[in-house]
Structure 1
Amino acid sequence: MSRAPRALKEQVFEEDADLPVRAMAELFGHHAAAETLQRAAQSGRLPHAWMLAGPPGIGKATLAYRFGRWLLAGGAEGQVPPGETPLHLDPQHATFRRILAGAHADLRALRPNTGEKGGVKMVIRVEDVRAAIRFLAMTPAEGGWRFVLVDGAEQMQPQAANALLKTLEEPPPRAVIVLTTAAPDRLLPTIRSRVRRLDLAPLDHAALDPLLMRLLPQLSATERATLGQIAEGSAGQAVALAEGEGLALQALVDQVLGDLGNRRHWHKVADAVAAKRDGSSFATFMALLRRAISAGVRQAARGQGAPAWLEDRPLAEWSTLWDSLGRLAAETDVLSLDRKQAVLTALLWLSPSRR
């Protein structure tokens, strides 16, 4: 009796999370930082290691790839025609296209991955850093430079950070390392002392809006402006909020804060926030709620016309409440507590009747 043909196993391809970053040819904001990198390379005294620091999602990795493309294409040696913006490289250039495809022999990027033994914590593993160090020590395949990007460097395992430190102390020739981090203080002081630091600020509206038009073309100008405001100048955060129903959740935050004494809609709000089983809506709602409180307190402290709901209690109480909401959100996540009850607890704390 003949056997039935064996079913082919479905292939699952891992999503390339870095692709949109590598594909970004335009420079949105950060012109001063890009000019600093370009001048340093053209001076003939290019520091071997850089740290791009700033809030999540503001374009640190995008700028690092832009620098790497330009450098590997020969920009420091004048082989790249000058563009209207610093570190410009034509998207049709062969170096741009190979880096976009993840196939350039002289560039390697490290990003956090899940840890060993099935853990969920995202880390940059020591074996990946050691492989990158061996890569840097090799002769450049195309006769120019070797370039390593460590994206999210604060998530390096301790052994990985120590391994990288040795290379920073004795760098190989014609090798450049760029670290990006949203938490520079979490890096070893000895690492921070051996890199040239560039701090990137959140994008202003003039730089952020055209970027969001490209990334989120389906949104209206009003929706983009709202996202840009609640994301505080971070394109990455704005995209994440758009994908995670951020606009709808911001509307719930506005509704709650605009009518703190009205308990009739509490259960409806809590049901909406706790609807997703993965907890993403709850995490976003609590983050937006705390952001609104923080922004309101800052406005009041600067005399910039704080929202009316802020008058329900002294500023010091709002600061304490902001901290308490953060602990509530963290405990709910870590201990897998009931998210709807956590939202109701938060709304009770916000209610003026609690004074």
Structure 2
Amino acid sequence: MSTDPDLGSDVQPGCLAPRQNYDLFGHEAAETDLATALASGRMHHAWLITGPRGVGKATFAWRAVRRVLGASAAPQFGALGASPADPVCQLIEANACADLLLLRRPWDDKRKRWRGEITVEESRKAPHFFEKSAHANGGWRVCLVDSVDEMNRNAVNALLKTLEEPPQRGVILLVAHSPGRLPATIRSRCRTLVLRPPEVEATAAWLVEQGAANDLPTAMAASRLAGGAPGRALALCASGGVELASQVDAIVARGAAASDSDVRALAERVSRKGSEGLRSVFYTALSNAIHAAARAQAENQVDPMPWLKAWREVNTLAGEADGLYLDPKQTALAALGYARDAARQQSV
């Protein structure tokens, strides 16, 4: 993940920052829906952009920002496309557009990392922003929330007040990874666009076309691990995530026979400074490997509960790792320990 406060926290290895990315793969229908609404003059005031991580939600949102704020259409870049040379795009990319408000987790300059949540103080900027007169393009203003999942309860309630009183010629774009966790009062006031991953094979072919993978087998491995999500698959290729996932699979497969040195080496790899982007790969791969072991046990008429318990524990730990600022190495060792405990119980 990025530690550049000018770009944002959602920049993955090998990927452009969504603010800087003018290409999007696999979401032509959703782009057409929003572009049609904009062209018709009946633009809904709030759009909830959902889908799995790495599918392109933030990139989609920034494409919408450019067009709503007046960038000329550039069909060669897709239904919501705009040219990087457009003056509006250049202002937005330089973070110099007064008609755009970006709400995201604040940067903690003292600790040199992103804070764990979007606070109510951030959310309260929205009503003040929409009270001001727009500077260009007939009065359009845009507030982008990336992501609404990261808002604490008070921040969500503050945002709801803005959604309940739609601003004139104002648009709110909300990126959401888990929309089901949002209050119904938020969801009901938004038009939802669901971005679904392309087929695994299509994303693999795209990776090869982009030069991100040297061959189709590597591209297929990255695409499968990413569930077809293009951005996540691209980051996996760039960060060594495919090889890391293979290493996790091997340790889980060895079960109780996995050596302490191999386990420590893996934990050290994902806890080094600069390896933040690999940690989510590590936990996803470990969760998938444990779940596969549980399924194999059930298919062989063996009690899968030790593995299912380990799967739940790993997922809980992964969810708490960043938010509670847990020690990365000790957390990784604990997660691998759950897998080894399940293997030991299986062998008894």
Normalising by the smaller structure, the TM-score range is 0.7 to 0.9
Distance 1:106 1:163 in 2: 20
Q: Equivalent residue for 1:152?
A: 147
Count of residue pairs brought into register by the alignment: 330
Matched, 1:354 2:347: yes
Which of 164, 179, 185 does residue 159 from structure 2 map onto? 164
What are the superposed Cα offsets for residues 161-187 of structure 1, whole Å, 9 maximum, x if unpaired? 222211111112110000001122332
Paired AA for residue 144 in structure 2: L
Q: Equivalent residue for 1:267?
A: 260
Which of 132, 135, 138 does residue 141 from structure 1 map onto? 135
Matched, 1:62 2:59: yes
Paired AA for residue 200 in structure 1: L
TM superposition shift of 1:48: 0.2
> Secondary structure of the equivalent of 2:124?
helix
Matched, 1:88 2:81: yes
Seen in structure 2, the aligned counterparts of structure 1 residues 286 and 204 have a Cα distance that, compared at 3 Å, is same
Sequence identity, in percent? 33
Give ranges in structure 2 of 5+ residues lacking alignment: none
More moved, 126-135 vs 20-29: 126-135
Paired AA for residue 33 in structure 2: T
Pairwise mapping of residues 1-355 of structure 1 onto structure 2 (< 5 A)?
14-17=5-8, 20-73=17-70, 80=73, 82-83=75-76, 85-113=78-106, 121-144=115-138, 145-205=140-200, 208-209=203-204, 212=207, 217=212, 220-242=215-237, 245-260=240-255, 263=257, 265-276=258-269, 277-278=271-272, 284-294=281-291, 311=300, 313-314=302-303, 318-326=307-315, 337=330, 340=333, 343-344=336-337, 346-350=339-343, 353-355=346-348
Q: TM-score, normalised by structure 2?
A: 0.78
How large is the RMSD of aligned CA atoms in angstroms? 3.7
Seen in structure 2, the aligned counterparts of structure 1 residues 210 and 99 have a Cα distance that, compared at 3 Å, is farther
Give ranges in structure 1 of 5+ residues lacking alignment: 1-11, 301-306
What are the superposed Cα offsets for residues 270-315 of structure 1, whole Å, 9 maximum, x if unpaired? 1221224459567643431211343677xx6xxxxxx799748455
Seen in structure 2, the aligned counterparts of structure 1 residues 104 and 316 have a Cα distance that, compared at 3 Å, is same
Distance 2:280 2:83 in 1: 40
Q: TM-score, normalised by structure 1?
A: 0.77
TM superposition shift of 1:268: 3.5
Distance 2:98 2:216 in 1: 41
Paired AA for residue 89 in structure 2: F
TM superposition shift of 1:258: 4.5
Distance 1:159 1:188 in 2: 12
> Secondary structure of the equivalent of 2:33?
helix
> Secondary structure of the equivalent of 1:47?
coil
